């Protein structure tokens, strides 16, 4: 695996692969890699000839300075994990490479950026995400870019911008990877104390409670949300929000008529966590939110990336 730090080096590294018609997969990350990230890299490895992992803690999407400052960083460890998972190129640019002096353009996705995470963190959060993802897509020009369903609202923002800006990329989503006890893997889990780690189980407990209610035939959004809220109480965790939304737009729904996404955010100590689960009106509930079955690309890999 080769580590590159400038856009020029990235383009030069990928140019022969592109010329030879090889497929390029991009996995954008902010580092502190865990099995969730590695699943995205593994899927890219299966589907693409050349796998690029980006490692960039994007300052413009952090609404709290303290969150940005304490965000876990360990490039050497991340490089080893990315290489072992099959990455060909690690793109780890410094901040000034992504936001050089004079940088003045922001990508704003209206509507979906404004509720829930957008309301809780400020719309600038998703503007920061949309801008950096657009830039990464323009820098690497991948055929496929891989994202986690764990950040469900971010995924909707990214699908929207790729479609609206006619970006020639397929956006592929992967199901949330969890610890055996149900906690969704997150780089921020490393910041939890052992006692907070135990209380963080409030989030999967809330999702499980809502899923269990839906499985008994409960269709009222309010009743499902109340069930989720109540399930968090024994952990001493109050959600910042719990909502039932239409999966493609994040508009709130009143009743579980079609598949809907239960999304929630909660602070456990100083650490803010999010999670979600797809609820289905069909009586048996799916074990996890797995929205888009993955497809193989046409003209599967025979040649390999020489990066
Ligand atoms: P981050 O480094 O937090 O920006 O995440 C990089 C990518 O990994 C995003 O597309 C996330 O949605 C995805 N991701 C984060 N946590 C998980 C998880 N537990 N399972 C699957 N994907 C994840």
The H or E element spanning position 170 is: strand 170-174
Q: Is residue 151 within 6 Å of ligand 1 at its C-beta?
A: yes
Q: Is residue 148 within 6 Å of ligand 1 at its C-beta?
A: yes
Give the number of other CB atoms < 10 A from CB of residue 258.
11
- Rounded CA-CA distance 126/113 in Å is 6
Q: Among residues 25, 40, 24, which one has the least CA distance to residue 85? A: 40
- Rounded CA-CA distance 27/169 in Å is 12
Catalytic annotation on 34? no
The H or E element spanning position 226 is: helix 221-232
Ligand 1 nearest-atom number relative to CA 146: 10
Q: How far is the CA of 147 from the centre of ligand 1 (A)?
A: 6
Q: Is residue 36 within 6 Å of ligand 1 at its C-beta?
A: yes
- Rounded CA-CA distance 148/180 in Å is 18
Q: How far is the CA of 32 from the centre of ligand 1 (A)?
A: 10
Q: Is residue 176 within 6 Å of ligand 1 at its C-beta?
A: yes
Per-residue pLDDT at 286: 54
Residue nearest (by alpha carbon) to ligand 1 atom 13 = 148
Q: Is residue 40 within 6 Å of ligand 1 at its C-beta?
A: yes
Q: How far is the CA of 217 from the centre of ligand 1 (A)?
A: 32
Per-residue pLDDT at 291: 37
Tens of pLDDT, residue by residue, the chain (307 residues): 999 999 999 999 999 999 999 999 999 999 999 999 999 999 999 999 999 999 999 999 998 899 999 999 999 999 999 999 999 999 999 999 999 999 999 999 999 999 999 999 998 999 999 999 999 999 999 999 999 999 999 999 999 999 999 999 999 999 999 999 999 999 999 999 999 999 999 999 999 999 999 999 999 999 999 999 999 999 999 999 999 999 999 999 999 999 999 999 999 999 999 999 999 998 655 555 433 333 334 434 445 676 6
Residue nearest (by alpha carbon) to ligand 1 atom 10 = 147
Q: Is residue 56 within 6 Å of ligand 1 at its C-beta?
A: no
**Residue tagged active-site, from 37, 115, 125, 127:** 37
Out of 43, 92, 148, mutate this one to test ligand 1's pocket (max ligand atoms within 8 Å of CB): namely 148
- Rounded CA-CA distance 232/158 in Å is 30
Burial (Cβ within 10 Å: 0-12, 13-18, ≥19) of residue 164: exposed
Q: How far is the CA of 176 from the centre of ligand 1 (A)?
A: 8
Beta bridge partners of 282: none
Q: Between 221-232 and 202-215, two packed helices, what is the crossing angle to 10 degrees? A: 140
| β-pairing verdict for 260-268 and 271-279 | antiparallel
Identify the sign of the CA torsion 254, 256, 258, 262.
positive
Q: Is residue 147 within 6 Å of ligand 1 at its C-beta?
A: yes
């Amino acid at each position: 695996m080769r580590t590159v730090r400038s856009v020029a080096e990235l383009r030069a590294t990928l140019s022969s692969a592109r010329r030879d018609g090889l497929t390029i997969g991009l996995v954008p990350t902010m580092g502190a890699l865990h099995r969730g990230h590695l699943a995205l890299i593994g899927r890219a490895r299966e589907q693409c000839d050349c796998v690029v992992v980006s490692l960039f803690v994007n300052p413009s999407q952090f609404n709290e300075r303290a969150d940005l400052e304490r965000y876990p960083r360990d490039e050497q460890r991340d490089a080893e994990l990315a290489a072992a998972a099959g990455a060909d190129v690690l793109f780890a640019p410094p901040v000034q490479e992504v936001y050089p002096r004079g940088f003045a353009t922001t990508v704003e996705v209206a509507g979906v950026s404004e509720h829930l995470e957008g309301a809780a963190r400020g719309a600038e959060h998703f503007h920061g995400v949309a801008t950096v993802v657009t830039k990464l897509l323009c820098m690497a020009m991948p055929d496929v870019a891989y994202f986690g369903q764990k950040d469900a609202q971010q995924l909707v923002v990214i699908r929207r911008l790729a479609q609206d800006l006619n970006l020639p990329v397929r956006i592929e989503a992967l199901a949330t990877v969890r610890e055996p006890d149900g906690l969704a893997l997150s780089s921020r889990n490393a910041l939890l104390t052992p006692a907070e780690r135990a209380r963080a189980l409030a989030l999967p407990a809330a999702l499980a409670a809502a899923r269990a209610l839906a499985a008994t035939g409960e269709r009222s959004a309010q009743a499902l949300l109340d069930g989720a809220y109540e399930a968090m109480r024994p952990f001493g965790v109050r959600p910042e929000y719990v909502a039932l939304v239409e999966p493609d737009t994040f508009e709130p729904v009143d009743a579980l008529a079609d598949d809907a996404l239960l999304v929630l955010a909660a602070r456990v100590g100083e650490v803010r966590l999010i999670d979600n689960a797809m609820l289905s009106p069909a009586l048996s509930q799916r074990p996890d939110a797995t929205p888009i079955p993955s497809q193989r690309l046409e003209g599967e890999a025979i040649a390999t990336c020489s990066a």
